[in-house]
């Protein structure tokens, strides 16, 4: 997608998405056979429900029909929330992942798997799980230390309420 078209789409859609209390995370335009596929990813601190995606999809479709930003060619519109394994790149992504286990690729090399305990403007406080019966340790990491980060899916983690019972 050209930068100009991307910028025009973002300028057109961001106010609409923000009015719903959502963040516009990504706009992706790609080819799908003879048609184009416009994928819009939205999120919020509380997550995004399917009904909100459906309602936003209708409003985005109407807005795009009113404008010439997509041109005359056919396209398929998809409005969704990010997957659980999406990359973390913005401060708000880390805030939303508080309490979750995250795999960090570090700028200096190597990787770190740790649970996010808290996030501030410079970075975050982590809990690095203990290995072979050792206790977990605390660690501080800044955003500039991180090359890449993704949430690790945990299938057997107990909820805090279950642990306290």
Q: 31-35, 79-83, 107-111, 123-127: which range is least confident on average?
A: 31-35
Average pLDDT of the residues of the chain: 87
What pLDDT sits at residue 16?
A: 92
Query: Confidence band (pLDDT; 50, 70, 90) for 24?
Result: very high
Full 3-state SS string of 99-135: CCEEEEEECCCCEEEEEEEEECCCEEEEEECCCCCCC
Q: Find, among 51, 48, 41, the residue nearest to 21 by Cα.
A: 48
Model-level pTM? 0.71
Report pLDDT for 2: 52
Mean pLDDT within 20-40: 87
Dump pLDDT digits (tens) for 50-84.
Answer: 898 999 999 999 999 898 888 887 889 999 988 87
Strand-strand pairing, 23-32 and 101-106: unpaired
Q: Counting Cβ atoms within 10 Å, is residue 98 exposed (0-12), middle (13-18) or buried (19+)?
A: middle
Is 165 or 45 the better-scoring residue by pLDDT? 45
Q: Distance (Å, rounded) from C-alpha 148 to C-alpha 135?
A: 26
Does position 18 have pLDDT exceeding 90, yes or no? yes
The pLDDT assigned to 15 comes to 93
| pLDDT digit string, tens, across residues 97-109 | 999 999 999 999 9
The CA R_g of the chain, rounded to the nearest whole Å, is 19
């Amino acid at each position: 997608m050209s930068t100009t078209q991307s910028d025009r789409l973002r300028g057109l859609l961001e106010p609409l998405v923000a009015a719903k209390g959502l963040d516009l995370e990504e706009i992706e335009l790609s080819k799908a056979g003879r048609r184009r596929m416009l994928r819009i990813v939205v999120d919020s601190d509380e997550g995004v429900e399917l009904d909100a995606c459906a309602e936003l999809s209708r409003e985005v479709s109407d807005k795009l029909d009113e404008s010439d930003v997509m041109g005359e060619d056919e396209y398929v519109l998809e409005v969704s929330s990010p997957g659980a394994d999406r990359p973390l790149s913005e401060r708000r992504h880390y805030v939303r992942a508080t309490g979750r286990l995250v795999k960090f690729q570090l700028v200096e090399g190597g990787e770190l798997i740790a649970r996010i305990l808290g996030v501030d403007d410079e970075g975050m406080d982590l809990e690095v799980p203990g290995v072979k019966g050792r206790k977990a340790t605390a660690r501080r990491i800044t955003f500039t230390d991180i090359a890449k980060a993704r949430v690790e899916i945990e299938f057997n983690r107990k909820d805090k309420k279950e642990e306290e019972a």
